[in-house]
């Protein structure tokens, strides 16, 4: 089949949350955000397409056939190397043989953070597997001991059957004084995520300075875009974690970041507990910004204090309905600090049961 140019709007990759049906940027514009992800598989309805390049370097769209909800593909010859086609489908989640869906993970913070003891971390993974979790996130320092030689630890993780979702770290990204050091740390941690089998990098920001806050926010958004584009080119998804400061004044800071970054570079790991504290409508936020949400951090709140799932004030049934209504897919990750009177293993077990029984996850 000869690749042909098209003016169809670029849609979200099939591994991401469904995009609105409204027109977006032209995929043939050769913009850096698109170019950084070539070849790229994406879906429109039940059809799968691949963005590639012709001999002159222009971006072209190739029809790859129809896909089923179970990931089946019937693809003709697309005119570029088979391994690139397979890599694009793998990145899009179409070679897994499983339908796109919400997967449930756990942040190991419930057992303490970081967990530097290797044996303890592996024991935690056994707890998570027993409770029914499908993946884990942890502070980068929990696995820092394996950065230089990740293969043995990855083998141990694989044996537990609870793969790494992401490593979490913090960075300001707006301060020229610390930017070089932060870039080096992000590079180091993201390489470890990839080597250890993860797919996401979770990044928490720092409070903006009181003076020059708007300029600092603009620098932060630009750096997030740069970093996210680089990570996307390596098959990793950058997710910005929110705390309360990003949600002040009707989520002014978070909305600025979303408006000044591209969906294929920067996503959110949305901590719903802070949305609740800020008085924001969680289901409405999902319906409005679902395409930009790569994962959720889920915990209940009683007032401004953490509570076990189902014992607080957050309406998780309404949240789950918004997820179903929008067709969102991605990681729903339970995250809660340890309690002195409840064993961590009990906490993660109770949370998983609640998410299954009440949220139908």
- Specify whether 168 is located in the same domain as 108: yes
Question: For strand 266-271 and strand 237-241, is the pairing parallel, antiparallel, or unpaired?
Answer: parallel
The C-alpha atoms of residue 31 and residue 137 are separated, in whole angstroms, by: 32
At residue 100, the pLDDT reads 72
- Specify whether 34 is located in the same domain as 108: no
- Specify whether 59 is located in the same domain as 172: no
* Confidence category of residue 250, pLDDT binned at 50, 70, 90: confident
Helix orientation angle between 176-195 and 150-160, rounded to the nearest 10 degrees: 60
Q: Which of 68, 100, 132 is the last residue of a domain?
A: 100
For residue 115, report the phi and psi dihedrals to the nearest 5 degrees. -105, 90
Q: Say if pTM beats, i.e. exceeds, 0.85.
A: no
- Specify whether 36 is located in the same domain as 91: yes
Q: Which of 53, 75, 100 is the last residue of a domain?
A: 100
Q: What is the CATH number of the domain that holds 236?
A: 3.20.20.150
Render pLDDT for 53-104 as a digit per residue (tens, 0 to 9): 555 555 566 655 554 433 444 444 455 555 555 555 554 445 555 557 899 9
pLDDT at 289 over 50: yes
275 vs 11: which has the higher pLDDT: 275
At residue 3, the pLDDT reads 36
The C-alpha atoms of residue 339 and residue 301 are separated, in whole angstroms, by: 14
- Closest listed residue to residue 28, CA positions, set 8, 55, 48: 8
Rounded percentage of the chain residues whose pLDDT exceeds 90: 70
Place of tokens 């953070």: 113
- Specify whether 106 is located in the same domain as 67: no
Q: Which range marks the domain in which residue 176 is found?
A: 102-357
- Specify whether 194 is located in the same domain as 117: yes
DSSP 49-89: EEEEE-TTS-EEEEEEEEB-TT--B-----SS-HHHHHHHH
Q: Number of structural domains, the chain?
A: 2
The C-alpha atoms of residue 43 and residue 67 are separated, in whole angstroms, by: 9
Looking at the DSSP bridge assignments, the partners of residue 202 are: 168, 239
- Sequence-ordered list of residues with C-beta below 8 angstroms from that of 162, at least 6 positions apart, any chain: 125, 128, 129, 133, 134, 135, 136
- Specify whether 45 is located in the same domain as 186: no
Residue 50 and residue 61 in contact, taking contact as beta carbons nearer than 8 Å: yes
pLDDT at 308 over 90: yes
At residue 63, the pLDDT reads 59
- Specify whether 156 is located in the same domain as 66: no
The C-alpha atoms of residue 267 and residue 260 are separated, in whole angstroms, by: 12
* Tokens read off for 280: 């924001």
- Specify whether 113 is located in the same domain as 86: no
The C-alpha atoms of residue 70 and residue 348 are separated, in whole angstroms, by: 30
Q: Mean pLDDT of all residues in the chain?
A: 83
At residue 238, the pLDDT reads 97
Question: For strand 164-170 and strand 200-204, is the pairing parallel, antiparallel, or unpaired?
Answer: parallel
| Cα dihedral across residues 339, 299, 107, 206: positive or negative | negative
At residue 297, the pLDDT reads 98
The least confident of 26-35, 94-103, 139-148, 239-248 is 26-35
User: What is the pLDDT averaged over residues 284-312?
Assistant: 96
- Specify whether 282 is located in the same domain as 245: yes
Q: Which of 100, 135, 160 is the last residue of a domain?
A: 100
Render pLDDT for 95-133 as a digit per residue (tens, 0 to 9): 555 557 899 999 999 999 999 999 999 999 999 999 999
The C-alpha atoms of residue 53 and residue 39 are separated, in whole angstroms, by: 8
The least confident of 45-49, 91-95, 332-336 is 91-95
Question: Of the ranges 6-10, 12-16, 43-47, 261-265, which is most confident?
Answer: 261-265
pLDDT at 141 over 70: yes
Render pLDDT for 178-228 as a digit per residue (tens, 0 to 9): 999 999 999 999 999 999 999 999 999 999 999 999 999 999 999 999 999
At residue 316, the pLDDT reads 98
The C-alpha atoms of residue 290 and residue 263 are separated, in whole angstroms, by: 11
249 vs 310: which has the higher pLDDT: 310
User: What is the pLDDT averaged over residues 166-179?
Assistant: 97
User: What is the pLDDT averaged over residues 225-236?
Assistant: 96
At residue 67, the pLDDT reads 46
- Specify whether 323 is located in the same domain as 232: yes
- Specify whether 19 is located in the same domain as 55: yes
């Amino acid at each position: 089949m000869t690749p042909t140019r098209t003016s169809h709007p670029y849609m979200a990759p099939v591994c991401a949350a469904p995009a609105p049906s409204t027109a977006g940027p032209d995929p043939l514009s050769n913009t850096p955000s698109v170019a950084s992800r070539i070849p790229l598989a994406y879906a429109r309805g039940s059809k799968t397409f691949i963005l590639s390049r012709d001999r002159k370097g222009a971006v072209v769209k190739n029809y790859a056939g129809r896909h089923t909800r179970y990931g089946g593909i019937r693809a003709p010859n697309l005119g570029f190397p088979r391994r690139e086609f397979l890599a694009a489908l793998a990145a899009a989640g179409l070679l897994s043989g499983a339908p796109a869906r919400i997967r449930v993970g756990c942040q190991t913070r419930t057992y303490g953070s970081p967990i530097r003891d290797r044996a303890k971390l592996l024991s935690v993974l056994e707890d998570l597997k027993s409770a029914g979790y499908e993946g884990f996130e942890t502070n980068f320092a929990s696995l820092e001991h394996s950065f230089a030689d990740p293969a043995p630890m990855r083998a141990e993780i694989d044996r537990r059957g609870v793969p790494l979702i992401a490593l979490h770290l913090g960075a300001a990204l707006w301060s020229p004084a610390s930017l070089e050091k932060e870039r080096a740390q992000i590079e180091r941690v993201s390489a470890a995520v990839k080597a250890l089998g993860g797919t996401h990098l979770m990044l928490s920001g720092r409070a903006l300075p009181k003076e020059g806050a708007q300029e600092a926010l603009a620098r932060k958004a630009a750096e997030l875009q740069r970093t996210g584009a680089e990570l996307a080119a390596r098959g990793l998804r950058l997710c910005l974690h929110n705390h309360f400061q990003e949600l002040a004044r009707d989520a002014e800071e978070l909305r600025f970041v979303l408006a000044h970054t591209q969906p294929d570079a920067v996503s959110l790991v949305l901590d719903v507990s802070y949305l609740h504290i800020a008085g924001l409508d969680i289901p409405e936020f999902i319906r409005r910004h679902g395409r930009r949400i790569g994962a959720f951090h889920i915990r209940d709140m009683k007032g401004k204090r953490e509570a076990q799932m189902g014992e607080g004030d957050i309406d998780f049934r309404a949240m789950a309905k918004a997820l179903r209504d929008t067709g969102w897919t991605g990681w729903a990750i339970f995250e809660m600090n340890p309690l002195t009177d409840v064993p961590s293993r009990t906490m993660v077990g109770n949370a998983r049961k609640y998410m299954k029984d009440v949220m139908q996850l």
